[in-house]
Structure 1
């Protein structure tokens, strides 16, 4: 049974979470530590989903709803753990008074794990006196941390989902935070409150939205995650110059964010239909698809580089066969495992795997450089990822 006032149980939990984040190196700034110790995260997550220990009979993840009413102890412990809490799937608004178990689904809203939230604010070099635009209010917990540190008057947060924003606003106002909130698409930022000293996105984009350059002050910074249809990710911190130019390095780590809904990958149909148009014979692949699918930091990085070469391609595995599908050009490829090698078959105007192989080979020849050695340049409407020993890689046109 839920106690009358959960707030009485959380002061110790907030302090313990802040201490743990500090010991792990995520809270080096006293101001952000004080914010973590103050903001009641449980107020922003009245309900969320946690994965069950086992999948269902179809192999789908079973997501169990957790609320204060259904399991108070589990709800409170998860709220003050360094865990991302999924609050919505497939854009469907949950009924937390009568929650139901979900089987599979695509997460579309969450409360991001606290270590990543404070890391994002710190990486963006957010300081007192800065005006900030946050793209992706979500539950509002990250917004609350910014308000606690900077003051509500300097924080603007936008969210594309009106139901999400309404719930976040209720939680923020009940805690005494009064930032500027608006239902808006992050692709276009929020001109009424511009210009901003810092723009920080809690969702990912295929390329940096051009509107954001005009909404950041010259010398201001934009921190966001780049993603794409291969589910490759990279974070970039851009410093904005004059005339909508910007430049900045990729940051290290393996951070991923849900895609902005307007940049989400389209459905591509049945892989068997695409495979039916492939030739009956192929060639030996020069690189294994495991170079970009393995559960390693290098593969995480390589998947983003490969994605720059084939931005319209999606990937799926059926059995042991890796399928690559380009819904824009109609091109496709399949990599079929043979003893000791991979047979690659391609069709359409774009030789998908051949393009990826060129990137992988150039990467190897350059000495396998890490993310921090790449720079994103924005100039004359184009966006190019550059490295001194590799060919330029363009991002998709925004």
Structure 2
């Protein structure tokens, strides 16, 4: 039988190997982060997780539970790989004492892959002595890395909206000797009791930057967050707060294809039946200039193309029935469909907004600008307006939903 002591012994070489792999990616040039990656026992924060094990007949993914009790060797080996480990579906905490396979479901909590966790802390430009607010404690592994790196030279407060997740993370963190400030709270409101902060780092995605984050930052403080939305496009923003009282901040998008789960209150609504939206498709059909595959996130360029499409149609939800791709907008009451015909796609639209027209216009402008990557774009936050824009190109300026 395996025991916590035997886990610690077996984990040590696996943790060193993982640290070597992360160092090879250029993530551990700082001696403090290298020491943190070697010291923090990820297995203590992930007693169980789900791995995808094929698909059911209806195409839904089948998820297999792996725990320290059911398969200790596989569990420990997997924990110390650079992999995201799903720990919860649909907001329901699994019974890790009696785990069972499941089919389908939406992941709502995970242990994020270590390289992404480290990348977030590095991109946030954390410094000794900083007061830090982390949005989304999750398993607590990310919090532990920051605690290990900061030591006694700074304070970290971490918020988790799910009380069961928070309790498990607290047990693991305190059991490993870390003492961050922890609270069960909706991180979209920040956390006034410990404000102001030098850094706010979000381990979830948001549709726009919450005003509370700006207000609770110090002047010159930085906010690192992933912007996402209902088309599942993502881009990270690193904002410098100019005036917390006035509510102003600005900064660049960062390159890369990193994404996080949307904050639960920012999740898209259920789209309903596409058939019910057919009556709104009363505009004349036309041939599409861009196929739906243009915004399928199969590589870095198309991943960002989907983000731009989402900026152009911020309330649209995409679904596919048969060969037809539907976009439905529950805010404006608009809809669009794209159906293959020969080698082309036929577009039908209706409602207050021409959804596919807006998406194609954004893609056209992006193509004309030479398909610049995320790092060329900036984010500006003002009290009554937030926008993502490419400097000097008015056609690539988009307001974020607020």
TM-score tier after normalising by the smaller chain length: over 0.9
Give me the CA root mean square deviation: 1.3
Structure 2 alignment gaps of length 5 or more: none
Are 2:376 and 1:373 equivalent residues in the alignment?
yes
Which residue in 2 is equivalent to 1:326? 329
Which residue in 2 is equivalent to 1:233? 234
List 4+ stretches of structure 1 deviating above 4 A. none
Mapped to 2, the partners of 1:338 and 1:141 lie a distance apart of 50
3-state DSSP class of the match of 2:262? coil
Structure 1 alignment gaps of length 5 or more: none
Are 2:250 and 1:244 equivalent residues in the alignment?
no
Which residue in 2 is equivalent to 1:131? 131
Q: TM-score, normalised by structure 2?
A: 0.96
Which residue in 1 is equivalent to 2:401? 396
1:357-391 deviation digits (Å, cap 9, x = unpaired): 11111111111111111010112331111212243
Moved more, 122-131 or 1-10: 1-10
3-state DSSP class of the match of 1:99? coil
Are 2:17 and 1:22 equivalent residues in the alignment?
no
Change over 3 Å in CA distance of 1:43–1:294 after alignment to 2: closer
**Aligned pairs (5 A) from 1:269-280:** 269-279=272-282
Mapped to 1, the partners of 2:278 and 2:236 lie a distance apart of 34
- Equivalenced residues, count: 396
1:179-214 deviation digits (Å, cap 9, x = unpaired): 000011111010100001100000000000111001
3-state DSSP class of the match of 1:247? strand
1:276-316 deviation digits (Å, cap 9, x = unpaired): 44248511112212111251211111111111111110111
1:12-63 deviation digits (Å, cap 9, x = unpaired): 11111101100122222111110010001000001110111x2111111111
Please tell me whether the aligned partners of residues 19 and 38 of structure 2 are also in contact (alpha carbons under 8 angstroms).
yes
3-state DSSP class of the match of 1:12? helix
3-state DSSP class of the match of 1:378? strand
Mapped to 2, the partners of 1:134 and 1:378 lie a distance apart of 20
**Aligned pairs (5 A) from 1:337-348:** 337-348=340-351
**Aligned pairs (5 A) from 1:182-193:** 182-193=183-194
Which residue in 1 is equivalent to 2:9? 8
Change over 3 Å in CA distance of 1:244–1:279 after alignment to 2: closer
Mapped to 2, the partners of 1:68 and 1:370 lie a distance apart of 42
- TM-superposed CA distance for 1:4, in Å, is 5.4
**Aligned pairs (5 A) from 1:174-253:** 174-242=175-243, 243-253=246-256
Change over 3 Å in CA distance of 1:246–1:294 after alignment to 2: closer
Q: TM-score, normalised by structure 1?
A: 0.97
1:74-124 deviation digits (Å, cap 9, x = unpaired): 100111110001000000011100001110100000100000000000000
Residue of 382, 386, 398 corresponding to 2:385? 382
**Aligned pairs (5 A) from 1:79-118:** 79-118=79-118
Which residue in 1 is equivalent to 2:166? 165
Mapped to 1, the partners of 2:264 and 2:293 lie a distance apart of 28
Please tell me whether the aligned partners of residues 333 and 352 of structure 1 are also in contact (alpha carbons under 8 angstroms).
yes
Mapped to 2, the partners of 1:63 and 1:380 lie a distance apart of 43
Please tell me whether the aligned partners of residues 280 and 334 of structure 2 are also in contact (alpha carbons under 8 angstroms).
no
Change over 3 Å in CA distance of 1:160–1:46 after alignment to 2: same
1:332-369 deviation digits (Å, cap 9, x = unpaired): 11001111211000011111101111111111111111
Are 2:48 and 1:43 equivalent residues in the alignment?
no
Which residue in 1 is equivalent to 2:269? 266
Mapped to 2, the partners of 1:294 and 1:110 lie a distance apart of 21
Please tell me whether the aligned partners of residues 362 and 390 of structure 1 are also in contact (alpha carbons under 8 angstroms).
no
